[in-house]
Structure 1
């Protein structure tokens, strides 16, 4: 069964903060409504920056969304007639989000996920890497680095005016007061452990770690 008229599948929109991910998600679901598709949008309940029942872009555009606490609640909440499912801030969901998305796509629905592909440390975020691998369409958006003005692919967390340490909590909800968009070169993560590999003799492996 295909509920979307030929467009079932998974689309994943990723990028740093302030790159326009939520804006693009909103744009796609609004176009789906124009095409007379039944749409539902979900968001993690933990993200309450713009109110519990809205997905909102940093440009002020918004769309009604249902906050859920765990991934399985998405599957339970999708109406039979819904053909397009949007999921914002997908990086905040538990690992069961992968099975939930698989199930929705298998049922003939179009699923559009938006979220951070990297956490503030520059490491893969949650289940997003798996969703990227499963997607039919992937769009990686860029912001503008606030330091040098180049394309930004990283999210810099700021605590008391300085970059957050590597061992700080991964999930801290915030916006411009806590985060900046930065390029790879301007992204700073104090206390990061750097691991590098050195040439080893045949049959062995070498690795050195500097704090």
Structure 2
């Protein structure tokens, strides 16, 4: 009976959850993450936003979308830094999750188990079409997964791949339109 009472108490206080926003580059993942976080702010929920220190493309203290929209954030070097002891945050946003270490799913689970709504955005596949970083594990434990598609620059169909334009075989290559373009399944193979 005590377990049921604890579950009821958590639900009435706003139970935690994990939401994943994934897709290719230029699909609007960061825009969607920011939209959800802004709605949480409107609802007067306390939020914290994190991004990996490895992503140096835009800003050290803000998430910035390809459309130049931004929201304040904190860069951290590893997933365990996201857990702030004693913090009463209600919503945690995490961008570029594919760049975090494999501890991220456990961190997200711990936050959700403590009643925090966790919203995670990241690439689900690398430029070779392979699952990327901790994203597959996060997708497996999430209550919801939203897969966004860009527009294929070759044919105009929905794009789910990040096609690399430059000659570099490393899994991680930070870049923009000079390095990547979105492509559909058919045009990705061209």
- What TM-score do the two structures reach when normalised by structure 1? 0.82
Query: Is the aligned partner of 1:169 residue 2:170?
Result: yes
Backbone CA RMSD of aligned residues? 1.8
**Alignment partner, residue 158 of structure 1:** 165
Which residue of 135, 144, 147 maps to 2:151?
A: 144
**Alignment partner, residue 181 of structure 1:** 182
**Alignment partner, residue 209 of structure 1:** none
C-alpha distance in structure 2 between counterparts of 1:60 and 1:21, whole Å:
13
Residue deviations 1:38-81 (CA, integer Å, cap 9, x gap): 000000011111111111111121111100011111113x6622
C-alpha distance in structure 2 between counterparts of 1:4 and 1:94, whole Å:
33
Residue deviations 1:77-98 (CA, integer Å, cap 9, x gap): x662210000000000010111
Following superposition, the deviation at residue 126 of structure 1 comes to 0.8
- What TM-score do the two structures reach when normalised by structure 2? 0.91
**Alignment partner, residue 115 of structure 2:** 108
Which residue of 88, 93, 101 maps to 1:86?
A: 93
C-alpha distance in structure 2 between counterparts of 1:80 and 1:46, whole Å:
25
C-alpha distance in structure 2 between counterparts of 1:171 and 1:4, whole Å:
42
C-alpha distance in structure 2 between counterparts of 1:93 and 1:69, whole Å:
8
Q: Which runs of 5+ in 1 are unaligned?
A: 190-211
Following superposition, the deviation at residue 6 of structure 1 comes to 2.7
Structure-2 change in CA distance of 1:30 and 1:185 (3 Å): same
**Map of 1:58-77 to 2, 5 A cutoff?**
58-76=66-84
**Alignment partner, residue 55 of structure 2:** 47
Equivalent pair of 2:16/2:111 in contact (CA under 8 Å) = no
Equivalent pair of 2:99/2:133 in contact (CA under 8 Å) = yes
Which residue of 31, 40, 48 maps to 2:39?
A: 31
Equivalent pair of 1:156/1:188 in contact (CA under 8 Å) = no
Could you say which structure has the greater relative contact order, defined with CA pairs below 8 angstroms and 6 or more residues apart?
2
Q: Which runs of 5+ in 2 are unaligned?
A: 1-8
Higher helix content, 1 or 2: 2
**Map of 1:3-14 to 2, 5 A cutoff?**
5-14=13-22
Instruction: From the CA coordinates, give the structure whose radius of gyration is larger.
Output: 1
C-alpha distance in structure 2 between counterparts of 1:125 and 1:147, whole Å:
24
Q: Secondary structure of 1:18's partner?
A: coil
